[in-house]
Amino acid sequence: MKLKQLIKKCAQKDRKAQAQIYQLYAAKLFSLCLKYSKNKQEAEDNLQNGFMTIFKKIDQFKFKGSFEGWIKRIIVNTALQTYRTKGMLSLVHEEYIEDETVLVDEEAISLDYLLALIQELPDRYRMVFNLYVLDGYSHKEIAKMLTISEGTSKSNLSRARSILKRKIEANDAHSFLAK
């Protein structure tokens, strides 16, 4: 299989194979980085560091499970690591919302706007929201990854949702167009 050979060559530090792997996954992983980061610059940093980790550890990939899943986990961990070392914002208060729906004109809402909303979230809310909603991790897994309790994970998610809901509803096209 072609991918398998590429990976093996990467493990031998073959530069061409590394470039090919990069080209195959850069776009997918960059979008992932954008979601987990505050802004484009941080996303680029995370992508770069993530790829360095991938190339360094690629010989540890034993072809169990999908390669894409494996590299995505590395990228996510890289992003988490960034904010773990920076120190997460400690949260002041908890807020639960009952209603998890929002009133929107779906057609009028762009992807860029939603991405911007995610990036504007405080670090930990952004992590939890990404991990749970967009990448399908359970609260149990998130708690482990972020070294927080499951309860905290749940409340962080809820808080993230409420911020997003408020912004979308309040907002309006104005603030969006302003951007």
User: Which positions lie near other proteins, rule CB under 8 A?
Assistant: 13, 15, 18-19, 22, 26-28, 30-31, 34-35, 43-44, 47-48, 51-52, 55, 100-106, 109, 111, 114-115, 118, 133-134, 161, 164-165, 168
Nearer of residues 89 and 134 to other proteins, judged by Cβ: 134
Q: How far is the CB of 95 from other proteins (least distance, A)?
A: 14
Tokens representing 161?
């949702």
Nearer of residues 87 and 105 to other proteins, judged by Cβ: 105
Nearer of residues 67 and 90 to other proteins, judged by Cβ: 67
Nearer of residues 51 and 70 to other proteins, judged by Cβ: 51
Q: How far is the CB of 91 from other proteins (least distance, A)?
A: 19
Per the CB < 8 A criterion, the answer to whether 20 and 6 are in contact is yes
Other CB atoms within a 10 A radius of the CB of residue 28 amount to 13
Q: How far is the CB of 35 from other proteins (least distance, A)?
A: 7
- CA atoms within 13 A of residue 58's CA, in its CB half-sphere: 24
DSSP class of residue 108 equals G
Tokens 């194979």 belong to 17
Q: How far is the CB of 177 from other proteins (least distance, A)?
A: 18
- CA atoms within 13 A of residue 122's CA, in its CB half-sphere: 16
CA distances to 46, 80, 143 from 164, in Å = 24, 21, 22
